[in-house]
Amino acid sequence: MSSDMIQGMTQGRPREVIRTESVTKTYNVGKPNEAFAVRSVSVSILENDFAVLKGPSGSGKTTLLSLIGCMARPTSGSITVEGKDVSHLPERFLTNIRRRIFGFIFQQFNLIQGMTVLQNVLIPLLPTDSNPADGLKKAEAILEDLDMLKRRDFPVNSLSGGEQQRVAIARALINDPAIILADEPTAHLDTALAADFMKIMHHLRDQGRTVVIASHDPVVFEDSRISQVVSMRDGRSLGIQRNV
C-alpha cells in the first residue's frame, strides 16, 4: 500500500483504483497499417465509481478498456492499478493482477458452448488452488443472486442471449473482483434486457465494486446514476464528465 492510499483512506476520500497517465496504444508500429488506437489518454477511476467509456466505433473504447484491465500493454504512458504501476510488468504478473482484481464481461460473452452454466461459471477457478466445495457454493450463490440457479445444469447454448450474459456476469464474479469491466454489454440485448443489465451493474456497485463499461449505447451512458463518462473520439479523450 502506498502512502497516498493510506492518506486517502484516513481522510475518507475515495481511493483511486485506476489511473492512466498519457496512455497511448499504437498497433502495427511503423507499418503501413499503423493504427493509433488510443492517444495520450489520462483517466482516474475511483473506488466504487461507475465509469463509462463512450464514443463512436473505432474511437478506442475497447483498446482503453483492455489497457485498464491489463490485457494489453501501452505503447507509451503509464497505467496504475490499485497504486501499482503495471505498465512494464511481465506477463505472469499481469495475469495474476487480472485474476485477482478484474472481472471481465466480453461483448460476445465468450462462454464455452457444450458446457453447462455451472461449468462455465467455475472455469476461472481452474488455475487456482481454491477448495472445489467452496467454489461450488460460491457459484451457486452468485447464480441464485442473478436468478440463474434454475438453469444451473443447462448447456449454455440452450439459453437466451440475456441468460447467456448472466452466465458471463456470474463467471466474471466467481473470483470476487473489485473491478468489473464490460465491453459493449448491451450490443446484443433489446431495450428491456439492456435496462436489466444496468440494474445488475448498479447492484454490483452497491456491493462496493467499481464498474467500468465501454459502450456507445445511450441506455448505458445516459443512465442517471453513472458517476463518470469519458468521451472518446479518434483515440483521444475529448472530455470527462463527473456526475458525483
Q: Where are the alpha helices (DSSP H) in the chain?
A: 3-10, 61-68, 91-101, 117-122, 132-145, 161-173, 191-206, 218-221
Tally of residues, the chain? 244
Q: Judged by CB under 5 A, does residue 59 bind Mg ion?
A: no
Nearer to ligand ATP, 140 or 234 (CB): 234
Q: Name which of Mg ion, ligand ATP, none residue 35 binds, using a CB cut-off of 5 to 8 Å depending on partner kind.
A: ligand ATP
d(C-alpha 48, C-alpha 227), whole Å: 9
Minimum distance from residue 64 beta carbon to ligand ATP (Å): 7
55 binds, among Mg ion, ligand ATP, none (CB under 5 to 8 A by kind): ligand ATP
| Alpha-carbon gap, residue 118 to 153, rounded angstroms | 6
Shortest CB 55 distance to ligand ATP, Å: 6
Does position 120 interact with Mg ion (CB under 5 A)? The reply is no
The least distance separating ligand ATP from the CB of residue 217, rounded to whole angstroms, comes to 10
Q: For Mg ion, which is the closer residue by CB, 63 or 120?
A: 63
Sheet with 84-85, side-by-side order of all strands? 35-46, 16-27, 76-81, 84-85
Q: Does 62 participate in binding Mg ion (rule CB under 5 A)?
A: yes
> In the numeric block, which cell numbers belong to residue 179?
473491478
d(CA 114, CA 117): 10
CB 200: neighbour CB atoms within 10 A? 19
Q: Which is nearer to Mg ion, 61 or 166 (CB)?
A: 61
CB of 27 to ligand ATP, least distance (A): 3
Query: At 37, is the secondary structure helix, strand, or coil?
Result: strand
Report the interface residues with ligand ATP, using CB under 6 A. Answer: 27-28, 35, 37, 55, 57-63, 216
Quick one: what does residue 37 bind among Mg ion, ligand ATP, none, with the CB cut-off 5 to 8 Å set by partner type? ligand ATP
Q: How far is the CB of 215 from ligand ATP (least distance, A)?
A: 8
Q: How far is the CB of 146 from ligand ATP (least distance, A)?
A: 25
Task: Return the C-alpha cell found at 104.
Answer: 471481465
Contact call for residue 63 and Mg ion (CB under 5 A): no
Q: Which is nearer to ligand ATP, 104 or 139 (CB)?
A: 104
Q: How many CA atoms lie within 13 A of 222 on its CB side?
A: 6
Q: How many other C-beta atoms are found inside a 10 Å radius of the C-beta of residue 47?
A: 18
Picking from 187, 184, 190, 143, the residue whose alpha carbon sits closest to that of residue 166 is: 143
Query: Residue 152 or residue 233: which is nearer to Mg ion going by CB?
Result: 233
Residue 124 partner contact from Mg ion, ligand ATP, none using kind-dependent CB cut-offs of 5 to 8 Å:
none
Q: Which residues bind Mg ion (CB under 5 A)?
A: 61-62
